[in-house]
Structure 1
Amino acid sequence: MPEPLKNLYTEALIDELGKVIAEHYPAFNQPAFKQKVFDNQWQAKELKARMTHIAESLHPFLPDSYPQSLQILKTASEQFSGFEPMFFPAFAELYGMDDFEASIDALEHMTRFSSSELAVRPFITHYGNRMMVQMQRWAESENDHVRRLASEGCRPRLPWAMALPEFKRDPSAVLLVLNKLMHDESEYVRRSVANNLNDISKDHPDIVIGMLKSRLGEHPHTDRILKHASRTLLKQGHPEVLKLFGFQNPEHVEITNLHVKESVALGNQLPFSFQLQTADNHLGQLRIEYGIDFMKANGKQARKIFKVSEAWYSESSKAVLKSHSFRFISTRKYYPGRHDLAVIVNGKQVASVPFELTL
């Protein structure tokens, strides 16, 4: 099982953090800071709680002046990178809400070395349009980390982050930011834009469909953004979206030799195979998926769809051999009993077969 992300906050990291801050602020009490971090509640804290706790633990050992503390942390943040040092922008989130200019400057600086995507969201809620105007400015930054922050920070459904229900209701302010990034040269930024649009598609599919109709073919970067942004609509088998990407009704495709193991024990792999055939000269443009109807605690099933492949197939038949893992994962709880495996082609279920999950 992979190591939990919360365990990235090691003693070595906290020691290094204390050392770096002390280089810029000699009065910083490193032993007391470390002791405060690893208190008797530490082990019970999950990832975001640990991040916040580190920021809170810094506060009593820094100057009383918020701008002075912020300057120390801005300088220190330059010596860290990756996901872990998101406690730097968390400090601005916790203690800088009343100092907009200083905090926004710090978030812009710190995101270049880590990410301020979580910390910026309370500022959006508190300052509203003023903050979204700032996001538009960030969307025009020369730095790709800052441009990504403009998109990622206002995602309506950003994982692990506080909700932005106002953007679920009306994403107009978000779209003003995203429109500035649709041709962005950075894949890092474009993927964030696509993820933001995918969030929007869950509440306002009509907006994303409208963009597909008006902007597909506009630019290679835009096309890639819109394709990735449409993944939820494609998984849902939305006919109009499938057609816009060239996936026609699969009435010419027949599924044969569908074989699924009759039962699988929790922790093991479920092998399955099938053949796609057509009487035509070629199978054509196909999006091949499979769905698992998982048994839930209430005795009903809920489907999860998994992509197999997506391509133009010049042949008249294709064999598919796959397996699905039933190993334990933290995001899903398994229940024994009947499950079903469905084969889906171009958004249409074309075959299915049951199997049993045992514990």
Structure 2
Amino acid sequence: MADLEKLPVTIVTGFLGSGKTTLISHLMKNPEGKRLAVVVNEFGDVGVDGEILKGCAIPDCPAENILELANGCICCTVADDFIPTIEALLALDPRPEHILIETSGLALPKPLLKAFDWPDIRSRITVDGVIALADAEAVAAGRFAPDVARVDAQRLADDSLDHETPLSEVFEDQISCADIVLLTKPDLAGPEGVAKAREVIAAEAPRPLPVVEVAEGAVDPRVILGLGAAAEDDMDARPSHHDTPHDHDHEDFESVVIDLPEIDTPAALVARIERLAEEQRILRVKGYAAVAGKPMRLLVQAVGARVRHQFDRPWAPDETRAGRLVVIAEHDDVDVARIRAVLAPEAVEAG
């Protein structure tokens, strides 16, 4: 039955230098018996955080369970990076029992929450909780980030970032989306600084939030894991400066399954997918195909018009040599008949 349960994911957000990596390192060493996996997206220190965490790897969180996303802020590259990464973790054997996601310091957490509503994964994972780390001294001083220059450099380096949000607004979005706030480096802030930081957080929070002081990432895992927040179903309670009437909800995406007869060449299928992306607002295409004369199955992944493919394994003797693609599009742009006509014209004609 465990395989039928949704896999819990904890999102750890906060500015560069707020202590996210230190916290995750502590959780990896104190996993409460859970088999963990970690996704690192701290763009400003590409390779550094991942290496630190891999150095902490233990049997309950081996190095192969620690994945880095270095292509930019995942709140802006959801289809390209986030969804395939989560799918890769779900395919691990043994499967992780809890996933920790360390976001980029400039990530807006709410768009990432919305990604958990994608048809590929929404039935398999749930957001157990959003943890916001806040540097007590920086918040009390109104800087919000402990090193503003490093954050600015991070923003300039990240070509994928599609928001020019002031730090104060990013901080407010992080607090608004959180289930619990960890106030880090309280020793540097002192009692007055901690009190001031608590006031700022209380003023920005849309609802009463627990605030826990944490030094060197040392927090009891029971405090922040197993919250059961199901945050993806609680969007309205997590306001953002970037909410719009067009934000995606549960009905905005639709998936279409296309059965493919054997194809002549991979290039022919790639051309069909590229044509479909030009004609309709296709977000993703994923699946496999049978290529005439080839003993291996062709694995296909596409984001928009960018298509990747590779032969992944031999066809089993008892398998039917046929393909199947899942096409994901925005609900209002789905033309099922046209999708079938473009991707599988032989099947349409035969029907």
Q: TM-score, normalised by structure 1?
A: 0.24
* Structure with the larger helix share: 1
Q: Which has the bigger relative contact order, CA under 8 A and spacing at least 6?
A: 2
Structure of greater Rg: 1
Q: TM-score, normalised by structure 2?
A: 0.25
